[in-house]
């Protein structure tokens, strides 16, 4: 499992960022990523074989929301410990937290498979640069500001590329929402 985690660390961080951002949480992205890693290791002890994970992206995405809840609960337990609460009760709560694991979904749903195929078809029809921008805007749920900053490109260039992406998507019958300009608009 350590190898799986090392190979997919960027994916774990990406989905941690997305779930924290989507829920407007103050929980640290790193805490959520650590919970995902901890859950993966705990799931391995329960029989999960990382070689049987067909789609690491979908699998980690499925764990991210659960990991957010665990990270918030773990933070609350740490705060209770710092406040001097009963150690025995806290250790029982911590054991219960560590036993709280989602059921692993190793195979993607038919809807998920169809949606992934549409996205991949769209990206294949785009230039490599536009495919990257499409992934950042729509798969990673990035804002226009974030993508411009990450790639050091002018907003005007991204806006033109976004229009090309939307046109190709519409031609293929894919309805995409316009990405937010910045997080304040979200």
Task: Let me know whether 29 and 89 are in one domain.
Answer: yes
39 and 101 Cβ atoms separated by less than 8 Å = yes
Residue 35: per-residue pLDDT:
95
CA angle 82, 85, 86 (to 5 degrees): 130
* pTM of the predicted model as reported, rounded to 2 decimal places: 0.62
Instruction: Confirm if 15 and 36 have CB atoms less than 8 A apart.
Output: yes
- Total of domains in the chain: 2
Which domain, by its residues, includes 151?
110-185
> Over 90: is that where the pLDDT of 102 sits?
no
Inside any domain, residue 144: yes
Chain centre distance of CA 118? 19
Of the candidates 33, 155, 56, the one whose C-alpha atom is nearest the C-alpha of residue 104 is 56
pLDDT in tens, 48-91: 888 888 778 888 988 999 999 999 999 999 888 888 888 888 88
CA–CA distance, 133 with 123 (Å, rounded to integer): 10
**pLDDT value at 137 more than 60:** yes
pLDDT tens readout for residues 18-28: 899 888 778 99
């Amino acid at each position: 499992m350590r190898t799986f985690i090392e190979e997919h660390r960027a994916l774990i961080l990406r989905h941690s960022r997305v779930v924290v951002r989507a829920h407007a949480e103050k929980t640290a992205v790193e805490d959520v990523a650590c919970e995902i890693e901890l859950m993966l290791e705990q799931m391995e002890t329960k029989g999960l074989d990382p070689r049987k994970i067909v789609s690491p992206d979908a699998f980690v995405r499925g764990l991210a929301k659960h990991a957010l809840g665990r990270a918030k609960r773990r933070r609350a337990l740490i705060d209770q410990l710092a406040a001097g609460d009963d150690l025995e009760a806290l250790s029982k709560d911590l054991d219960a937290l560590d036993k709280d694991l989602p059921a692993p979904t190793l195979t993607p749903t038919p809807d998920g498979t169809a949606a992934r195929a549409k996205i991949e078809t769209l990206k294949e029809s785009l230039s490599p640069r536009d495919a990257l921008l499409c992934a950042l805007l729509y798969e990673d749920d990035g804002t226009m500001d974030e993508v411009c900053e990450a790639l050091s490109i002018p907003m005007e260039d991204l806006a033109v590329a976004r229009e090309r992406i939307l046109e190709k998507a519409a031609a293929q019958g894919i309805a995409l929402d316009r990405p937010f300009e910045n997080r304040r608009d979200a």
